[in-house]
């Protein structure tokens, strides 16, 4: 009861005090509704009393006022409103929906009253002042005819000049068209002012210097309606096609201007002229009813135009999405095209409802909120369009920077799409916040001014700054590594330098990502202590459960420390020989001779054989027949080396031929060994060339290089004779006649001994000759 009594005492105080809640309380009740300021003050007071925390703060203020005494004076209502906590967004939305429901109910009541008043006029129950109507007709007829006729004549005369002005814009740029359009609009507005001034002059001349209030109402309505049409002509430009900035056809521009101008004329002449005249001729109540009917007729006309154009507008909104399917703005426009007509109808119905419920302050609020929302949407669209056009060509670095850091520009351009998406989301959030603030759905500025809002925005800004800083550091480190790996700038990097820098870049990227995530979570208010403890426990569990992974990392670390292998080297690891293509802290990727790529974890690598460390040897083992002279073979091998050394591979040979002599007496050959010391990685090319030269030199010298033979045994009969050899389908040419004397004994069949297969020799069968066939 004490709180209710204090609230009752506070109502006059809040209504009388200066500030946002101030209003003069009426001395006596009247038939008219309370002013908008009084209703707003009462509504805010009700919201304060509904909230427990706000009500407690209000009670504290009253107690402090009571203890201070009459000398201290009453605290202003603004201070009470500032000390009271801001209601939550959910409570604000609930209060807003309640106000909308009340406004809708009031609009229904007003519409029913308007229909009843108009019905009373038609049935004769409501009296009409006929003399006032006749005086009204005589007062307006002459002034209206003169004003409208003068305006039409002026537009007809000025039309020739405006068309010539528009012809100059053909083929010109946007700036020229904007300037010429501004000149045309200024001329159009001047014509309206001249016609308005002419109407006033005629009215003053006809009444000997005293103008009738009804004529003034018409002239003011004419001025506002025609100036509004000038604004519409500036946006749509239905007649002067070269000056039109909007991308639309003449028929489309003419269609929209026709209906929008009719709507403006209906509202302007209906509310600014017809309603005041009816209030004077009949009654104020009938005038208000006529205003409601004019608004209802305008609503019906607007809804009809919206439904008639829903498909063309949908196609226009879907055009961007058809051209750019992945564009975010195009997708939003495509979704908007499906429901735009419903949104427009709901908006107009809501505007009509609040206007009928509160004709004084609600329309101004709605139109102001609409204008602010439109400005926010246009500003967001312009910001998105300008940002997209600014970054459409990507980031272009100077030529010296591109030569020094060739990968920096692709990295920056790879970040541009993600940055655009983030900025677009921020712009959309800002536009939505501006719209919510304009309609007072949520007090965004008040929420931002609160402690919680400031803290949240500050944390988000700090987290965003840390992310941007991490990206900048990553770009700097990657560019530094790229600079060190660029052979065109400074010293040529070694293989080990390339490997270590690549590993460092990967490890730094992972570490930077982990640290950035931890710092961002900390800035957002999350306690990262349990996360670090959990990460330690998780690492311990992984250490026990993934011992192979730990072994891979430890072995890889020691391999890198000992410089066992680097990218581009030929190694044998895990029983596989190939070129190292990819090297990480956990595994190595090898490409073998056949092109197969092998990924080998370091835990399966027991030893590493590197063929590229310092130098390499080509070991040449040449097998010759037992009858050949070993000294001659050595000399021929030296001759082959001299020929090789004089060729294009001379730079790959580091030392003279290392002749080691006979190393093995095989079953069918004597093996002579020699070594050639080469640069690392060139031993295979040198070996292939030297083997080819040795073959050619030995063939030229008649030195026999033994190879495996095959003896065909056809079996033996019981009497010891060999069975005949039948060659089916084989026809051999007759051997040539021997040149030896006739008395020479016949050459016995040649028997070839069976030879063993030497290492590296090629196995092939021995083809019998004509004597063996005989």
| pLDDT tens per residue across span 561-620 | 788 888 888 999 988 999 998 887 788 899 998 999 999 988 888 888 999 888 999 999
| C-alpha span between 251 and 492 (Å, rounded) | 69
Residue 691: the pLDDT is: 94
Q: In which band, very low, low, confident or very high, does the pLDDT at 30 lie, cut at 50, 70 and 90?
A: very low
- Count of residues making up the chain: 774
- 237 phi-psi bin (left φ>0, alpha ψ -120 to 50, beta other): left
Q: How far is CA 537 from CA 511, 512, 533, 630, in A?
A: 19, 21, 6, 72
Bridge partners, residue 587, by sequence: 601
Scanning the structure block, which residue is given the tokens 């073998």?
A: 592
Q: In which band, very low, low, confident or very high, does the pLDDT at 118 lie, cut at 50, 70 and 90?
A: low
Checking if the pLDDT of 74 tops 70, the result is no
- Bigger pLDDT: 708 or 302? 302
Residue 190: the pLDDT is: 93
Q: Which of 168-182, 434-448, 450-464 has the highest mean pLDDT?
A: 450-464
| C-alpha span between 640 and 616 (Å, rounded) | 19
**C-alpha closest to that of 81 among 66, 61, 52, 97:** 61
Helix-then-strand count for the chain, H and E = 24, 8
Residue 135: the pLDDT is: 64
Q: Is 334 helix (H, G, I), strand (E, B) or coil?
A: helix
Cα–Cα–Cα angle for 646, 650, 651, nearest 5°?
Answer: 155
What is the per-residue DSSP string for 710-752? --------TTSPPPP---TT---PPPPPP-S-TTSPPPPPPPP
Contacts 24+ apart (CB under 8 A), 437-441: 437/372, 438/368, 438/369, 438/372, 438/373, 438/376, 439/369, 439/373, 440/92, 440/96, 440/369, 441/92, 441/93, 441/96
CA 567, distance to chain mean position in Å, is 36
Q: In which band, very low, low, confident or very high, does the pLDDT at 522 lie, cut at 50, 70 and 90?
A: confident
Tell me the average pLDDT across 671-690: 92
Q: Is 583 helix (H, G, I), strand (E, B) or coil?
A: strand
Checking if the pLDDT of 62 tops 70, the result is yes
| C-alpha span between 61 and 78 (Å, rounded) | 12
Tell me the average pLDDT across 759-774: 39
Residue 143: the pLDDT is: 84
- Bigger pLDDT: 730 or 7? 730
Tell me the average pLDDT across 42-64: 68
For the record, the structure tokens of 606 come out as 């027991």
CB atoms within 10 A of CB 390: 8
Q: What is the mean pLDDT of the chain?
A: 76
Contact (Cβ atoms closer than 8 angstroms) between residue 203 and residue 141: no
Q: In which band, very low, low, confident or very high, does the pLDDT at 677 lie, cut at 50, 70 and 90?
A: very high
Residue 764: the pLDDT is: 37
Checking if the pLDDT of 13 tops 50, the result is no
pLDDT in tens, 211-240: 777 788 888 899 999 999 999 888 888 888
Checking if the pLDDT of 173 tops 60, the result is yes
| C-alpha span between 670 and 634 (Å, rounded) | 12
| C-alpha span between 362 and 112 (Å, rounded) | 20
Q: Which of 101-115, 136-150, 741-755 has the lowest mean pLDDT?
A: 741-755
- Bigger pLDDT: 274 or 492? 274
pTM of the model: 0.47
Q: How far is CA 166 from CA 69, 235, 250, 574, 619, in A?
A: 75, 15, 14, 82, 91
- 490 phi-psi bin (left φ>0, alpha ψ -120 to 50, beta other): left
For the record, the structure tokens of 458 come out as 């500050």
| C-alpha span between 412 and 471 (Å, rounded) | 10
pLDDT in tens, 306-322: 999 889 888 888 887 88
- CA end-to-end span of the chain: 141
Residue 579: the pLDDT is: 93
| C-alpha span between 60 and 83 (Å, rounded) | 10
Torsional sign, CA 520, 526, 529, 531: negative
Checking if the pLDDT of 209 tops 80, the result is no
Tell me the average pLDDT across 457-467: 89
Residue 727: the pLDDT is: 64
For the record, the structure tokens of 182 come out as 């501004």
Checking if the pLDDT of 621 tops 50, the result is yes
Tell me the average pLDDT across 545-569: 78
Checking if the pLDDT of 678 tops 90, the result is yes
Q: Which of 165-174, 620-629, 716-725 has the lowest mean pLDDT?
A: 716-725
Q: In which band, very low, low, confident or very high, does the pLDDT at 718 lie, cut at 50, 70 and 90?
A: confident
DSSP label of 766: P
For the record, the structure tokens of 640 come out as 């082959």
Q: Which of 319-328, 521-530, 544-553, 683-692 has the highest mean pLDDT?
A: 683-692
Residue 577: the pLDDT is: 93
Residue 641: the pLDDT is: 93
CB atoms within 10 A of CB 374: 12
What are the residue ranges of helices labelled H in 391-494?
Answer: 399-404, 408-438, 444-449, 451-485
Bridge partners, residue 661, by sequence: 673
CB atoms within 10 A of CB 355: 21
- Bigger pLDDT: 11 or 161? 161
| C-alpha span between 679 and 617 (Å, rounded) | 8
CB atoms within 10 A of CB 639: 15
Residue 9: the pLDDT is: 35
| C-alpha span between 593 and 590 (Å, rounded) | 10
| C-alpha span between 432 and 418 (Å, rounded) | 21
Checking if the pLDDT of 87 tops 90, the result is no
Residue 75: the pLDDT is: 44
Residue 759: the pLDDT is: 40
Residue 510: the pLDDT is: 85
Q: In which band, very low, low, confident or very high, does the pLDDT at 208 lie, cut at 50, 70 and 90?
A: low
CA dihedral 650, 656, 661, 667 (to 10 degrees): -20
Tell me the average pLDDT across 729-751: 50
Q: Which of 178-187, 214-223, 342-351, 442-451 has the lowest mean pLDDT?
A: 442-451
Residue 592: the pLDDT is: 92
pLDDT in tens, 336-382: 888 888 988 988 887 787 777 776 666 677 778 888 888 888 888 78
Checking if the pLDDT of 624 tops 50, the result is yes
Residue 27: the pLDDT is: 37
Residue 216: the pLDDT is: 85
Contact (Cβ atoms closer than 8 angstroms) between residue 331 and residue 152: no
Cα–Cα–Cα angle for 692, 696, 698, nearest 5°?
Answer: 115
Q: Which of 16-30, 122-136, 475-489 has the lowest mean pLDDT?
A: 16-30
Q: In which band, very low, low, confident or very high, does the pLDDT at 325 lie, cut at 50, 70 and 90?
A: confident
Checking if the pLDDT of 76 tops 60, the result is no
| C-alpha span between 717 and 758 (Å, rounded) | 34
Q: Which of 15-29, 238-252, 701-715 has the lowest mean pLDDT?
A: 15-29
Checking if the pLDDT of 743 tops 70, the result is no
List of residues 6+ apart from 649 with CB closer than 8 A: 682, 685, 686, 689
% of the chain at pLDDT higher than 70:
72
Classify residue 644 as exposed, middle or buried by CB count within 10 Å of its CB (0-12, 13-18, 19+).
buried
Residue 163: the pLDDT is: 85
């Amino acid at each position: 009861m004490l709180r209710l009594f204090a609230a009752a005492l506070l109502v006059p105080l809040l209504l009388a005090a200066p500030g946002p809640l101030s209003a003069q309380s009426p001395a006596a009740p009247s038939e008219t509704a309370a002013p908008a300021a009084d209703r707003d003050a009462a509504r805010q007071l009700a919201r304060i009393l509904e909230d427990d925390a706000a009500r407690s703060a209000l009670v504290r203020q009253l107690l402090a006022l009571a203890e201070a005494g009459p000398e201290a004076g009453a605290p202003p209502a603004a201070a009470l409103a500032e000390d009271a906590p801001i209601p939550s967004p959910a409570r604000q939305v609930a209060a807003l929906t309640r106000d909308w429901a009340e406004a809708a109910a009031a609009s229904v009541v007003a519409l029913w009253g308007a229909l009843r008043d108009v019905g009373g006029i038609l049935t004769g129950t409501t009296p009409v002042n006929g003399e006032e109507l006749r005086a009204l007709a005589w007062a307006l007829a002459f002034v209206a005819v003169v004003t409208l006729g003068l305006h039409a004549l002026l537009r007809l005369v000025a039309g020739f000049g405006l068309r010539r002005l528009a012809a100059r814009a053909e083929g010109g740029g946007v700036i020229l068209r904007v300037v010429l359009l501004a000149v045309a609009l200024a001329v159009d507005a001047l014509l309206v002012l001249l016609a308005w001034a002419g109407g006033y002059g005629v009215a003053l001349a006809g009444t000997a210097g005293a103008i009738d209030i009804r004529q003034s109402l018409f002239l003011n309505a004419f001025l506002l309606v025609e100036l509004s049409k000038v604004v519409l002509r500036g946006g749509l430009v239905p007649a002067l096609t070269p000056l039109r900035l909007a991308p639309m056809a003449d028929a489309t521009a003419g269609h929209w201007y026709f209906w929008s101008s009719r709507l403006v004329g209906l509202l302007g002449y209906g509310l600014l002229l017809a309603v005041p005249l009816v209030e004077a001729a009949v009654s104020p109540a009938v005038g208000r009813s006529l205003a409601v009917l004019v608004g209802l007729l305008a609503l019906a006309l607007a809804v009809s135009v919206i439904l008639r154009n829903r498909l063309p507008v949908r196609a226009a909104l879907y055009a961007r999405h058809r051209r750019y399917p992945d564009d975010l703005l195009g997708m939003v426009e495509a979704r908007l095209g499906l429901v735009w007509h419903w949104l427009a109808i709901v908006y107009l119905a809501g505007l009509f409802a609040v206007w009928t419920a509160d004709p004084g302050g609600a329309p101004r609020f709605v139109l102001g909120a609409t204008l602010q929302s439109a400005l926010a949407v246009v500003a967001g669209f312009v910001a998105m369009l300008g940002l997209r056009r600014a970054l459409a060509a990507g980031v272009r670095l100077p030529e010296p920077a591109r030569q020094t850091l060739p990968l920096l520009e692709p990295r920056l351009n790879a970040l541009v799409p993600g940055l655009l998406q983030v900025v677009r989301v921020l712009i959309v959030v800002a536009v939505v916040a501006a719209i919510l603030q304009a309609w007072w759905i949520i007090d965004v500025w008040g929420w931002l001014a609160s402690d919680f809002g400031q803290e949240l925005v500050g944390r988000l800004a700090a987290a965003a700054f840390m992310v941007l800083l991490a990206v900048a550091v990553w770009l700097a480190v990657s560019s530094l590594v790229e600079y060190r790996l660029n052979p065109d700038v400074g010293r040529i990097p070694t293989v080990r330098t390339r490997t270590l820098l690549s590993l460092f870049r990967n490890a730094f990227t992972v570490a930077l990502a982990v640290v950035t995530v931890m710092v961002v979570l900390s800035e957002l208010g999350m306690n990262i202590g349990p996360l670090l403890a959990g990460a330690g426990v998780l690492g311990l569990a992984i250490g026990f459960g993934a011992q192979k992974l730990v072994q891979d990392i430890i072995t890889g670390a020691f391999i890198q420390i000992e410089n066992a292998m680097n990218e581009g080297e030929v190694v044998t690891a895990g029983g596989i020989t190939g070129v190292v293509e990819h090297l990480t802290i956990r595994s190595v990727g090898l490409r073998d001779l056949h092109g197969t790529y092998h990924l080998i974890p370091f835990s399966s690598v027991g030893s590493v054989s590197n063929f590229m460390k310092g130098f390499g040897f080509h070991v040449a083992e040449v097998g010759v027949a037992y009858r050949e002279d070993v000294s001659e073979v050595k000399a021929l091998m030296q001759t082959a080396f001299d020929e090789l050394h004089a060729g294009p591979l001379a730079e790959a040979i580091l030392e003279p031929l290392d002749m080691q002599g006979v190393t093995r007496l095989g079953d069918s050959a004597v093996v002579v060994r020699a070594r050639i010391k080469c640069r690392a990685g060139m031993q295979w090319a040198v070996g292939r060339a030297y083997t080819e030269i040795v073959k050619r030199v030995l063939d030229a010298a008649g030195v026999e290089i033994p190879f495996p033979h095959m003896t065909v045994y056809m079996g033996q009969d019981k009497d010891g004779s060999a069975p005949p050899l039948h060659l089916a389908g084989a026809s051999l040419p007759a051997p040539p006649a021997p040149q030896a004397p006739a008395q020479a004994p016949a050459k016995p069949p040649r028997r070839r001994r069976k030879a063993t297969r030497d290492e590296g020799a090629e196995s092939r069968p021995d083809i019998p000759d004509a004597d063996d066939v005989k």
